[in-house]
Chains A and B, each alone.
Chain A
Amino acid sequence: MWKFVVRRILIMIPQLVVLSVLVFILAKVMPGDALSGLVETPGVDSSTIEDMRTNLGINDPVHVQYLNWIKGLSQGDLGTSYIHQRPVLELLEARLWNTVYLSAAILFLTYLIAIPLGITAGRFHDSLVDKLIVGYNYVTYATPLFIFALLMLFVFGFQLQWFPTGGSTDINLEPETFSYYMDKIYHLLLPALSGALLATVGTIQYLRNEIIDTKMKDFIKTAKSKGVPEAKIYSHHILRNSFLPIAAFLGYEITGLITGSIFLESIFSYPGIGQLFLQSISQRDFSVVTALVMVTGVATLIGTLLSDIILSLVDPRIRVE
């Protein structure tokens, strides 16, 4: 088991190198840099800008720039935001956590909704409940996130006023107190619920199909022929086998959450990295964009790592390989 985990983590090293090179290239090919915006500014002539560029290392050979960048990364230096005039790390920190909270909340709510629905649909497939659940799936699959989120915000935020309409917390509250945390959760709820309600599609569909498939397997017949009651056949045999693809899906799910957060955070004015991402792109704050792409990439790698570790925990066939 541990051997597997260690080996799996070692595999991440080349993945990280490839990711960093890709991100670096991406950063380089993006048109303009942070200083291009200054070209038209009165009082700043082009030689001044050239000097600034040299000072920033922008004119160094590419591989030197890459190595410098990696060196910085390893020390937690993600560069400086030219727009905010602050280290990117500092800028990211608080927002990154907000996004992590939001993603975790979405993931939690997604599974909370999707798992019971998926199991019910699979167990009673072709029944009326199954058809209702599949119908719900079609609807959520076809609904665009940004429209749905706007609708939720309008109805529950502005009309009914059940939830706050923006931010991640009430600034008047003393940090680290109970009511502060409750307030954070309160701010999370509406965006998380909006994201989760649409994110259930994959999990429900997978779980449902997997249960329908597993039900027909020979080893289920074996269990039945032993006299195992139906409820126990589900809990001991069908469900565990059916959860495998859900676990395998987790890495993908996490990537989806991060992309999804770009819309959600913008609509709910929730200060996370998604919102920052959009801002930074429009302001050409490329050191921030680059850092965010890198962070997202790492999160995806961690997601797949988690998937693999979970899979190896539940599936003995993977452990030996």
Chain B
Amino acid sequence: MSNDDILLQVEDLTTSFRIDDQYYPANDHINLDVYENEIVAIVGESGCGKSAFGHSIMGMHSQEQTKISGKIHFKGADLLSYSNTQLNKVRGKEISMIFQDPLTALNPLMIVGKQIEEGMKYHTKLSKNKRKQKAIEILSEVKIPQPERVYSQYPHELSGGMRQRIVIAIAIACEPSLIIADEPTTALDVTIQARIIDLLKELKRRMKTSIILITHDLGVVSEMADRIAVMYTGEFVEIGETKNFLKNPLHPYSKSLLHSLPSKNNQGEKLHVIKGVVPSLNHLQRQGCRFKPRMSGTDDSIHEETPTLREVEKGHWVRCTCYKHFQIDNHNQVVEGEKDDVFQGQ
């Protein structure tokens, strides 16, 4: 991957929400590059700021409730400097979004075919008939049986899995170069989840689209993603290539996430539960390491005051001064390891 292949470059992005007339960052000075034809997964517990990030890229936040700063470079332009009208030329055409809940993501009063076509009305010069033709083609691309019939059905006439296929069809209708999939399978049955994942993989292979895959399901990620970025309280705490990351997770939070995942190795065991919860925006302690309150037995002498994201091996970044000292013990808690082997990586 070279710099020429960078499709999206997020630089120092801070997105703050208004709560009781005060602004609190849900994304805090975030940096991330997304390359062409790549799937980057963003993982983290609920409330970490994953959706806030996805929404920021497309300018989906309400202007009265949100403050955004930083830069979002996309195809030579800074999307953050765009007006709403300019953004409308990007949304749906260059970047599109797949939403979590297919039950609510579709307009209940509009036939699904029209919902797929709608974007084309604003982004292409296709005639009405051509649009319909295209919509039916897309329906078969997302593996909907009897696309002509489904074209004129209403969302309530379709099953959850089918509706999610419609949501995907809407997202790919104008062949965008980036798709932000915000928990595309969370609301679905396990069996259907796998099929939707397969569909996304296939579409990505064929259309050469980049995907930002937002999920808290590391299982989905390991199957699909080229790279993984772990988010905690609005910051990335670890970014790495999937294989590397799964083999050698460094940040205690990443380790905990991996340990809380059911796998062949821990069958029958009680699943690991990360102590505590993600603090809410207005109660988050922003000084020092944000994960510290959820760790037990850390030694303050070896902690950097505020750990920064550093590259410890090529393409593998971590925000923790002493990752080497921590391992997950059998008591389902993150504990401190030996002290002498202090992480010095720059």
A interface list, Cβ under 8 A from B: 217-219, 221-230, 236-237, 240-241, 314-317, 320
Contacts and interface: CB of A to CB of B under 8 A. Distances in A.
Given A222-B99, A316-B156, A227 B104 contact: no
Prevailing SS type, chain A contact patch: helix
Contacts of B84: 230
Interface of B: 58, 60, 84-85, 87-93, 96-97, 99, 101, 104-110, 115, 118-119, 122-123, 154, 156-157, 167, 170-171, 173
Contact of A227 (B92, B106, B107): B92
A239 to B, nearest CB: 10
Contacts of A221: 60, 97, 99, 105
A316 B109 contact: yes
Given A221-B60, A237-B107, A226 B156 contact: no
A226 B170 contact: yes
30 contacts: A217-B104, A219-B104, A219-B105, A219-B106, A219-B107, A219-B108, A221-B99, A222-B105, A222-B106, A222-B167, A222-B170, A224-B60, A224-B91, A225-B58, A225-B60, A225-B97, A227-B119, A228-B92, A228-B118, A228-B122, A229-B122, A236-B110, A237-B110, A240-B109, A241-B107, A316-B108, A316-B154, A316-B156, A317-B154, A320-B157
A225 B176 CA distance: 12
Contacts of A225: 58, 60, 91-92, 96-97, 99, 171
A151 to B, nearest CB: 40
B119 A228 contact: yes
A218 B155 CA distance: 14
A230 B62 CA distance: 12
A227 B109 contact: no
Contacts of B93: 227
Given A226-B96, A226-B170, A228-B122, A315 B58 contact: no
A222 B91 CA distance: 10
Chain A CB within 10 Å, residue with most, of B89, B105, B109: B109
A219 to B, nearest CB: 4
